[in-house]
Structure 1
Amino acid sequence: MTTTRTGVYPGTFDPITRGHMDIIRRGATLVDRLVIGVTTNPSKSPMFTIEERMEMVKREVADIRGDIHVVSFDSLLMDFAEREGANMIVRGLRAVADFEYEYQMAGMNQQLNDRVETVFLMADVSLQPIASRLVKEIALYGGAIRKFVSPAVEIDVARRVSEIGRKGS
């Protein structure tokens, strides 16, 4: 009997960046089924609603080969992983600061459910500085973000910035 390897890649994806896409493409090759969990984060103030972020992610991953699903969740990550039948959490790392935080989270998650492994993927060197928080800040001050996001996401962000107004004008 063959067991399906299911991984979850959680995040706020506000907005989804080229860095996220790198981890999704590579993560999809490690599992039979990849579930991208779009979540809320009480410590962050999102630019896009969860529905908008889910649509953005679905559009961006549409051409990636593999069994990829995009779902929302608002629960503990390990409860979400259990619900999805996952045996792996996929996490991207950019820098040492990411590692320290992610290492602590992986340890806590292992205490909650030791049947689910956390797998860390190093971001491609050219993508390591990209963070959604910085992309939003650059866009809000009128800077160019095309190096960090796809053309479609660039349009989404520009549209939202025009709705809420630029800063520093």
Structure 2
Amino acid sequence: MKKIALFPGSFDPLTMGHLDTIERGAKLFDELIVGVFLNTSKKSYFTASEKLAIVKRSVAHLPNVKVIGQEQKLTVEVAKECGAHFLLRGIRSVKDYEYEKDIATMNHHLAPDLESVFLLASPQYSHISSSILKEVMAFSGDVADYLPQPVCEALEKKRDQDEK
């Protein structure tokens, strides 16, 4: 059986921590599908189509990684449609673990054949989140070290458009 995993997230913006998890996950699975999903509890910085394009450019170097966009369905439904038997999730802290454990338990209830796989964040990225980076960006702080190049380019383009 081909090992296919889905890595769902809002990726707004995609961080180096996300990219690290994707690169590590790509080594574990035959195919890794990055699902750019809508998070109803967060205000998006980028549009869905912008996020999709940015993530695709950021993972272009990984031949077994595919990127899809999805805003209407449960993660377990998307996983089933993609043929994924695994959900990949990254964990930065105990707080993340508690949150992810509850989601994994519900996902297991909804789809017993879907297994959640957790990767601990690499130490250099364990303190960053998209929310923290957006807060720093709102006050013109430099976050380039924590973002893949395609994200930095998209942010620069967005700033240029806002200034016009």
Same fold, TM exceeding 0.5?
Answer: yes
Offset from partner CA, 1:52-88 (integer Å, 9 cap, x none): 0010000000012x42110011211111111111110
Call closer, same or farther: CA 1:5–1:153 in 2, change over 3 Å.
same
Whole-angstrom CA distance in 2 between matches of 1:155 and 1:143? 16
Offset from partner CA, 1:106-149 (integer Å, 9 cap, x none): 00000001101000000100100111111111111010011110
Q: Which amino acid aligns with 1:99?
A: Y
Structure 1 residues 113-122 or 147-156, which shifts more? 147-156
Contact 2:3–2:84 (8 Å) recurs in 1 = yes
Residue 54 of structure 1 is aligned with which of 52, 55, 62? Answer: 52
**Aligned residue number for residue 5 of structure 2:** 7
Unaligned runs of 5+ in 2: none
**Aligned residue number for residue 70 of structure 1:** 67
Displacement after TM superposition at 1:35 (Å): 0.6
Q: Which has the higher helix share?
A: 2
Contact 1:139–1:161 (8 Å) recurs in 2 = no
RMSD: 1.3
Whole-angstrom CA distance in 2 between matches of 1:161 and 1:109? 38
Q: Percent identity?
A: 35
Q: Which amino acid aligns with 2:95?
A: A
Unaligned runs of 5+ in 1: none
Q: Which amino acid aligns with 1:153?
A: V
Contact 1:8–1:36 (8 Å) recurs in 2 = yes
Displacement after TM superposition at 1:156 (Å): 1.4
Offset from partner CA, 1:3-48 (integer Å, 9 cap, x none): 1110000001111110000000011111111110001111111011
The answer on 1:147 being equivalent to 2:163 is no
Residue 130 of structure 2 is aligned with which of 124, 129, 132? Answer: 132
Displacement after TM superposition at 1:162 (Å): 4.7
Equivalent pairs, count: 162
Q: Output the TM-score relative to the length of structure 2.
A: 0.94
- SS of the counterpart of 2:28? coil
Whole-angstrom CA distance in 2 between matches of 1:161 and 1:44? 21
